[in-house]
Structure 1
Amino acid sequence: MKRNLGIALATLLIFIMSVVAGGTKASADDNSLQKMKDAGVLRVATSPDYPPFEFQATIDGKSKDVGMDIEIAKQIAKDLGLKLKVMDMDFGSTLVAVQTGKVDMAITGVNPTEARRQSVDFSKIYYNGGQAFLVNKKQLKEFNNAKKLHGAKIGAQTGSLQHKLAKQDFSDSDIQSMDKTPNLIFALKNGKLDAVGLEKPVAEAYAANNKDFAMIDAGYKLDANETGAAIAFAKGSDSLASEVNKSIDKIHKNNWIPKYLKTAGKYMKDNLQDTSMMHYWKYFYNGFLNTTLISVLAVIFGILLGILLVLMKLSSWKLLSWTATSYIEIVRGTPMMVQVLLVYFGLGAVLNLSALVAGTIAIALNSGAYVAEIIRGGINSLDKGQNEAAASIGLSKVDTLRFVILPQAFKNIWPSLGNEFISVVKESSIVSIIGVSDLIYQLNVVRADTYRAVAPIVVVMAIYFLMTFTLTRLLNHFERKMNND
């Protein structure tokens, strides 16, 4: 049902986290419900870029998570007598968050497939809306039913159920996949696709709120046990699952799902009342603040770590040298995305780190490795006579390094360090996958809320450019001062 972005990576990380955190948190003595009651909080993971299931709306001047899934989570928390805490993150991270204990459950329109049941447990199906295709209304005569899509260009989210079904039933069509549903919608609107496979309520929501789109039934024959939406829990959370299933039964008995969808539709219409970028300035402003905070802290601690690593690497003690070299090679040889997820879910299994803190630590640890190599290059570029001259006037090795070597090295490597600082600003965007509300995270939220493809991208590009341009001018100023000294 819901997009399955990063399912392969998530599966790999679940295995890694099991090793780091000592395996699954479930045990024969299930205390999942009691732990939550002791804390008084129900922590729920979601990915708010999939209306009408979950998305964001501005309420009383503040951005809040809304949608059918959020209403269901509220009801579950009410029935359990707990305070609801919604934790936003990329969809590919939600099941990992459940498995590693970062959250108590994930409600994000996910399908309880057999593959996923190997990693997490699921509740009863709380909603099954069916499958549909979204098409351009001007092509409705040409594609007025699913059979006519054979041979057409069909889009679906990468790794999703819709992608799997399209490949099975439309093998003669050009099946294209993208990571984000909004990107598929924009491709459809621009004529790059003839149809997009979606969950029926999602297709209905897009069609109802955009006069250019129409919905047609997909006509798939499906197994309701795998295609409906269910709530995910950590393995062995039977007591929690039992109580949640009671809430789901209560919701079905009172027929509250249509009411939840109606409420979600109202928020979607409210979002479309004003889709100007000025209306969403707070989203971009908050993203700018978090991006700036992460970048500044990562640069400061990255420099300090880099100096420490280079001293260790140049040390005559083999243990220190080998440790620093190994760290640098591992960091430089693995993707930053994996490092961010490892710190958040791995280290977070031991220490209760927020997404912002974990993201900052991961970026700083990554930057430190590159800074170390830059500094080492600057030290090696100096004439060896500098050490001899310092020794001749009685300076110790520490004083030589502090007053002679490092100042000259930093002067030589300043342009390279400047490039690293600029890279940190741009690469910090990766923290959006764990739910940090940086610029990229807010970009995706605004695109999902407004259905506008280009304008939010242009705004974020302009903000990043102003940030890096200002930083470049500042770095050039200090470079000129060093050259004049």
Structure 2
Amino acid sequence: MDILNWFADFGDKLYQAFLFEDRWKLYLDGMGVTLGITLGAILISTVLGMVLCLMKLSKHAVLRGPAKAYIDIIRGIPVVVQLLIMYNVILLDVTDNKMVVAIIAFGLNSSAYMAEIYRSGINAVEKGQMEAGRSLGLTQAQTMWHIIFPQALKNCLPTYTSEFIVLVKETAVVGYIALVDLTKVYSSVQSMTYDAFGPLFIIAVAYFCITKVLAVIFAAMERRLCASDRR
């Protein structure tokens, strides 16, 4: 009987937190903000991370130094602090669009980690590959683009996937700049229902579903790349 009562109470809490008065729309809007920030940030970090990686691998100290300093500084400061600095200092008089601020902040943060992911992937490629490309008459840039990068990207994919998933979860701190993302929806729903369990359970399931879908997509990509290698 106690178990039945628990399930009945559990169902009622979920109903109040999700279905009553169409509160599911709040979660849908919050998920849109979370995914929007994540996708925008990953686009920035994918491109900027490669630029930083090439700078750090450069033979010229004038390129290596700034890239190394940027990566060290960004990785040494909590992402929430970087978000607040971007919102309250750097972009204060530039834009009042909190979504744009969050995308830039998370993109710049993730780019430091992406740079190291790319660098490890490139370093994992045998050094003889560069020599082989040059012996075929390719320039260093052509060898990097046609021979080194394709192999490095395959090496990077598992870690790239992890960074993508981590980025989804890190966006949960955007509530610090009053953006209503998936996590921030909890506060709104909890204030309506006076119950924390219902909205927290729903948000946890939503995050799990997002990250699981991403993991499945990238795992399928990795299998296809491995299959192409075997052919």
Residue 79 of structure 2 is matched in structure 1 by 336
SS in 1 for 2:134: helix
SS in 2 for 1:283: helix
State the shift of 1:466 in Å: 0.7
Residue 104 of structure 2 is matched in structure 1 by 361
- How big is each residue's C-alpha offset from its partner over 1:392-423, in whole Å with a ceiling of 9 and x where there is no partner? 11111211111111110110121111101100
Amino acid at match of 1:355: K
Residue 428 of structure 1 is matched in structure 2 by 171
Residue 452 of structure 1 is matched in structure 2 by 195
Amino acid at match of 1:468: T
- Within a 5 Å distance, the mapping from 1:214-293 to structure 2 comes to 275-279=16-20, 280-293=23-36
Is this contact kept in 1: 2:86–2:101, CA < 8 A? yes
Residue 159 of structure 2 is matched in structure 1 by 416
* Higher RCO by CA contacts (8 Å cutoff, separation 6 or greater): 2
Structure 2 segments unaligned to the other structure (5+ residues)? 1-14
- Within a 5 Å distance, the mapping from 1:333-412 to structure 2 comes to 333-412=76-155
Distance 1:343-1:410 versus aligned 2 partners, 3 A rule:
same
SS in 1 for 2:125: coil
State the shift of 1:352 in Å: 1.8
Residue 262 of structure 1 is matched in structure 2 by none
Determine if the alignment matches structure 1 residue 297 to structure 2 residue 40: yes
| Bigger Rg, structure 1 or 2 | 1
d(CA) in 1 for partners of 2:17 and 2:159? 39
d(CA) in 2 for partners of 1:350 and 1:407? 41
Amino acid at match of 1:337: V
Structure 1 segments unaligned to the other structure (5+ residues)? 1-273
Amino acid at match of 1:284: Y
Q: Aligned pair count?
A: 212
SS in 1 for 2:77: coil
d(CA) in 2 for partners of 1:360 and 1:303? 13
Amino acid at match of 1:406: F
State the shift of 1:340 in Å: 0.3
Is this contact kept in 1: 2:129–2:148, CA < 8 A? yes
State the shift of 1:350 in Å: 3.3
d(CA) in 1 for partners of 2:60 and 2:152? 22
- How big is each residue's C-alpha offset from its partner over 1:363-397, in whole Å with a ceiling of 9 and x where there is no partner? 11111100100110111111110100010111112
Amino acid at match of 2:27: F
Amino acid at match of 2:63: L
| Structure with the higher strand share, 1 or 2 | 1
d(CA) in 1 for partners of 2:77 and 2:96? 22
State the shift of 1:275 in Å: 3.2
d(CA) in 1 for partners of 2:126 and 2:18? 55
Amino acid at match of 1:403: H
TM-score under structure 1 length normalisation: 0.43
After the TM superposition, which segments of 4 or more aligned residues of structure 1 sit over 2 Å from their partners?
none
Q: Kindly, what percent of the aligned residue pairs are identical? A: 37
TM-score under structure 2 length normalisation: 0.89
Amino acid at match of 1:332: R
d(CA) in 1 for partners of 2:19 and 2:178? 23
Distance 1:347-1:353 versus aligned 2 partners, 3 A rule:
farther
Amino acid at match of 2:76: G
State the shift of 1:435 in Å: 1.2
SS in 2 for 1:350: coil
State the shift of 1:438 in Å: 0.6
